Chain A
Amino acid sequence: MKQKIVFPRFDAELNTDVCDAYNNAELTLTVRMGFSQINPAAGADEGTYHDYGNAAKPARKIIKWTPATWKAWKDTFCSSVQAFWSDKFWLINDAGSFLYTAKDAQVYVPNVWCRLKVIGQEGAAANNHHSIDVVRLHPSVKWFGSHEHLYDSKDINSVEKNRDSHGKKVMQQAHVHEFGHILGLGHVDIGKAHCPASGDTNASACYGVSDVDMNSVMGSGMQLRLEHAAPWREAVRAFSVGEVFSGSASPIDLLMPLARLVVGGNTLFAVWPAKMKRHYPRTSAEAAAGTLITAPPKRGAK
């Protein structure tokens, strides 16, 4: 079965048709990105554009987009973001949701594989989840002041963002970091004393003070962490609770969580812990025992 829930930041689709004794359910978040060109004024080949789109800030040299460079940039944006964020997390099914009977007649508790699909379309499209304007920088320009709705052509490059305690460069591709925000993720150090959630969470300290935090993709680096599975966890909880209300599972599962404990969990209190390694579907007994299966298990007939 394929089910869909529309969230403000993305559409989520849960596919349990792919489930068998070895394969988990797939949860795909789809983000429609709208792209609009910013070109030099009056059709000129070259011009300038100010950092952050603010006339009081430095003007940078820009050049006109061509159809080929525009298409290449959008394609690279979408493919590189998708390659970075998709297929990296598995959510452990501690809710006992989405049970299915495989061909070996065994009932399985599927985990959830977290996938991402990024669709690039015109900036004016009505159904975009997020839209950005993009300037094409002159080859001589090394940097431009971007923000969440204003990018530059070099934002897909890996550039030095920070220096760790050993003086080592911490590199980042800005668009990959920004896409984390599009998914709903905040900066790595939000909530710590040097980056209170009540303050401006764009302060440099929020990008990570310790070397470990600095290297997070939601800091100044490119490392994924388990907490970055939060958007998929949010979505799967909605499907899990929705399963009960839609009649796919009994409402008694919500009222009497103990009923779910026979397969190791219940819908309301489920955490859906994230892992960064494939975890295979479990039998009810394995789920109840809390067993995690990371190597291909021996199952009955496929």
Chain B
Amino acid sequence: MNTGAKISLTAILGAACLTVAIAVLLTGGANAGKAKKEDCSMDAISQSICVYRLILDDIDAKVTMRGGGGVTSIIQKSDDLFEARLAQEGHEDIRSYQMDLTDGDKPKIKAVTESTKSY
């Protein structure tokens, strides 16, 4: 192997190591998802994101009417009450989420009620 080839191999290995390092930094490693879930109580933004994720996961799991305009809004109506609106032809499906926020680390959905706004 000549000197030029050695330099090229070193450069390739170096670039590969750098790529892996950046990926680990960005994802926070293998425990990234778990760490995020445990951080729900860190601050208001973290808790909001946890609540909205729970609502979105619930919609994804429960709603079979996948057509229409999708989720057009999720708004906080009171401390522990959130409302998601799903646009459909001629109406909106409204899902109201009563949240349990007593355990700041792990927000839970306490109750879901469904209603409809017709146009």
Chain A contact residues, CB within 8 Å of chain B: 51-54, 57-58, 143-148, 155, 159-164, 169, 172, 174, 200, 202-205, 207, 214, 220
Task: Kindly state the separation between the CA atoms of A169 and B66 in the bound complex, as whole angstroms.
Answer: 9
Q: How far is the CB of A255 from the nearest CB of chain B, in Å?
A: 46
| B119 touches which of A54, A155, A207 (Cβ 8 Å) | A54
Q: Are A204 and B87 in contact (CB under 8 A)?
A: no
Q: How far is the CB of B46 from chain A (nearest CB, A)?
A: 28
User: Do the beta carbons of A220 and B72 come within 8 Å of each other?
Assistant: no
Residues of A contacting B: mostly? mixed
Shortest distance in angstroms between B113's beta carbon and chain A's nearest beta carbon?
12
Q: Are A51 and B69 in contact (CB under 8 A)?
A: yes
B63, B66, B70 — most chain A CB neighbours (10 Å): B66
Q: List A contacts of B89 (CB < 8 A).
A: 145-147, 155, 174
- Asked if B65 and A220 sit within 8 Å, CB to CB, the answer is yes
Indicate if the CB atoms of A147 and B65 lie closer than 8 Å: no
CA A146 to CA B65, docked complex, whole Å: 16
Q: How far is the CB of B96 from chain A (nearest CB, A)?
A: 14
Top 4 nearest A-B pairs (CB, nearest first) are: A52-B119, A202-B91, A203-B116, A200-B116
Q: Are A161 and B119 in contact (CB under 8 A)?
A: no
Q: How large is the interface on B (under 10, 10 to 19, 20 to 34, 35 or more residues)?
A: 20 to 34
Complex contact B66–A145 (CB within 8 A): no
Partner of B90 from the list A54, A143, A147, A214 (CB cut-off 8 Å) is A147
- Which of chain B's residues have a CB closer than 8 A to the CB of A52? 119
Can you list 25 contacts pairing A with B, beta carbon distance less than 8 Å? Answer: A53-B119, A54-B119, A57-B72, A57-B87, A58-B69, A143-B67, A143-B70, A145-B89, A147-B90, A147-B91, A155-B89, A159-B67, A161-B65, A162-B65, A162-B67, A163-B65, A164-B64, A200-B91, A200-B115, A200-B118, A202-B90, A202-B118, A203-B91, A204-B63, A204-B65
Q: B114 on the interface (CB 8 Å rule)?
A: yes
Chain B contact residues, CB within 8 Å of chain A: 63-70, 72, 87-91, 93, 114-116, 118-119
Q: Which of A57, A169, A204 contacts B116 (CB 8 A)?
A: A204
Measured between alpha carbons, how far is A168 from B111 in the docked complex, in Å? 28
Knowing that A51-B72, A159-B67, A202-B118 touch, tell me 6 more A-B residue pairs with CB under 8 angstroms. A57-B72, A146-B89, A155-B89, A160-B66, A204-B114, A204-B116
Contact status of A204 and B67, CB under 8 A, knowing A51-B87, A57-B72, A58-B72:
no
CA distance in complex: A203, B90 (Å): 10
Q: Are B119 and A147 in contact (CB under 8 A)?
A: yes
In the assembled complex, which residues on chain B have CB atoms less than 8 Å from the CB atom of A147?
Answer: 89-91, 118-119
Q: Tell me how far the C-beta of A222 lies from the nearest C-beta in chain B, rounded to whole angstroms.
A: 13
Separation in Å of the A198 CB from the closest CB of chain B? 13
Q: Which residues of B contact A148 (CB under 8 A)?
A: 90
A145 near B87 (CB under 8 angstroms)? yes
A105 to chain B, nearest CB (A): 55
Q: How far is the CA of A202 from the CA of B87 in the complex (A)?
A: 12
Determine the distance from Cα of A155 to Cα of B89 in the docked complex, in whole angstroms. Answer: 9
Chain B residues whose C-beta falls within 8 Å of the C-beta of A207 in the assembled complex? 65
Residue from A145, A162, A172, A214 whose CB has the most chain B CB atoms within 10 Å: A145
A57-B90 Cα distance, complex, nearest whole Å: 13
Instruction: Specify which chain B residues have a CB less than 8 angstroms from the CB of A169 in the assembled complex.
Output: 66
